[in-house]
Amino acid sequence: MSSMRPPAARPCESCPYRPDVPSGVWAHHEYEKLRRYDAATGEQPTGLFQCHQTDAESTDRRLCAGWVGSHDATHLLALRIGILTGTIDDATYQAALEYVSPIPLFATGNEAADHGQARLTEPSTAADRLITKISRTRSDLGTQSDITTPPS
């Protein structure tokens, strides 16, 4: 049985791939993860990128809609490995391949990371609101600083 569901119909309100999400919502290292999926297929991470709205081990976890929408999913190594190992099933794999975001997304993980990291030390009021909401939703993140800790 697979453990990861298909992407949501639209990227969530805190998705780092959305240009309309305020900068500084996620920690520096979370934005750095986005860059690695821009690499050539064989050099990409092998782990699936899940939506930030659910706990890492939640039974409700799903593929990040922004992640699959910003990339040509046929070139995502993690999806290929996921289908081979059974981490995702055929329906989830097919949904990722066919996914088209109904809202604008950054064209690359690098663009998304640059935007997200621009205001890490001075997040806006809108970013602070999202951080508070996420810290109430995600029990696996601990404190609010676990979400937004800038690099040392």
pLDDT along the chain (152 residues), means of 10: 85 96 94 97 96 75 96 97 95 97 98 96 93 79 46 36
What does the pLDDT read at residue 2?
57
CB 76 within 8 A of CB 83: no
**CA–CA gap between residue 23 and residue 111 (Å, rounded):** 12
**Angle value at C-alpha 103, between 111 and 20, nearest 5 degrees:** 50
Locate the domains of the chain by residue range: 28-147
Bridge partners, residue 63, by sequence: 50
**CA–CA gap between residue 65 and residue 55 (Å, rounded):** 16
56-84 pLDDT, tens digit per residue, is 667 778 999 999 999 999 999 999 999 99
What does the pLDDT read at residue 141?
60
Q: Measured in Å, how far apart are the chain's first and last C-alpha atoms?
A: 40
What does the pLDDT read at residue 56?
67
**CA–CA gap between residue 126 and residue 110 (Å, rounded):** 22
What does the pLDDT read at residue 135?
82
